[in-house]
Amino acid sequence: MPEGPSVRKYHHLVSGFVGQQVIKTGGSSKMLSPASFQSLWLQDTQVHGKKLFLRFDPDEETRSHGNNALPEPLEGERMEEAGDQKQAVGSDSQKISDPSSRSPELAVPSGDDGLDCLGGDSPAGDAERWLEVRFGLFGSVWVNEFSRTKKANKKGDWRDPIPRLVLYFDSGGFLAFYNCQMSWSSSSVVKPNSDILSEKFHRGQALEALGQEQPVCYTLLDQRYFSGVGNIIKNEALYRAGIHPLSLGSLLSPLQLDVLVDHVVEFSADWLQGKLQGRQQHQQIYQKEQCPAGHRVMKEAFGPPGGFQRLTWWCPQCQPKVPPDKPEQGQLS
């Protein structure tokens, strides 16, 4: 699932279409009928963590904004979290992550890092005008072009991925949504106090959550307190803070927790800025064999008992565990 900075970029791209009317639709979605968007006006768009919200209305309430210029393609490359695998890169920084070997209706586990199968074929009256978009592992939004495969799949096919939804607007531009689940709701469920990229991010709440008697790598992925944090941000922030992923938050000092939150926010903000400027984010530990200091990196899947396990990279020398680790802990990558 794309992390907060990626979804913020999608929000930037979609915002250029606010005030425009949908004149044609397409896509493979079975949960929502693409035809139900016909003649609707895109009135607003919001973002929260890993979720994108779009408000549609049959009335022309925002025609004054209809002359918005379409967002120009951003140059450079981009990296997305995708099941701890590296992504391929599209021509104008739109993601193409080897989708030729994957079904466009890729199933994703439910929960904070997964997708629930949400129904609702069309907005039911005035109350339900918000479309909630939850992206899958390879989810993305393309503007004025479609994703193209970069190589053949295992069967030798060069099939391009099929968009879940395509919206053509009266300006002549279009949006294509890939690998996502969508549902209508009565409002955008936005809680900015937990969004790491929001000005209203509640630092005190995040620090209190991190101080629990559980490994900090579990807490960092808890979207109730760190909405938008995914596996890349988790790994990078822990390395930069010099904290072992399995260190119990209750045993870390207030200063260590403060530093960790600083790195979560700073890395996320820098990643977003890089996306908007066409720069590729530099990663120091994620999917690396050596850390910047030249030490051998360890790799193992960590997660709460009975919960989702996420691959984690760390340096035993730069990130000593608190309390001290047992000699047999971890496996060499």
Helix (H) or strand (E) holding 208: helix 203-210
Q: Tokens 């049959």 correspond to what residue?
A: 58
Catalytic residue among 3, 80, 81, 236: 3
Known active-site residue 50: yes
- The residues with which 242 forms a beta bridge, in sequence order, are none
Eight-class DSSP state of 166 = E
Cα→Cα distances 130→75, 135, 233, Å = 30, 16, 28
Tell me the three-class secondary structure of 55-101, residue by residue: EEECCCCCHHHCCCCCCCCCCCCCCCCCCCCCCCECCCCCECCCHHH
Q: What secondary structure letter does DSSP report for 322?
A: S
Of the candidates 83, 100, 109, 186, the one whose C-alpha atom is nearest the C-alpha of residue 147 is 100
Q: Tell me which residue of 244, 217, 227 sits closest to 190, measured CA to CA.
A: 227
- Specify whether the CB–CB gap between 45 and 55 falls below 8 A: yes
Question: Is 310 tagged catalytic?
Answer: yes
Q: In 10 A of CB 6, how many CB atoms?
A: 26
From 184, 178, 44, 182, select the one nearest 105 (Cα to Cα): 178
Question: How far is the C-alpha of 294 from the C-alpha of 7, rounded, in Å?
Answer: 33
Whether 3 sits among the annotated catalytic residues: the reply is yes
Neighbours of 58 (CB within 10 A): 12
Question: DSSP string covering 140-159, please?
Answer: EEEESS----SS--TTS--P
- Catalytic member of 9, 50, 51, 164: 50
Q: Which of 55, 240, 310, 321 is catalytic?
A: 310
Q: Residue 49 and residue 2: Cα distance in Å, rounded?
A: 10
Q: Which of 2, 99, 161, 215 is catalytic?
A: 2
Which residues have a catalytic role annotated? Answer: 2-3, 50, 310
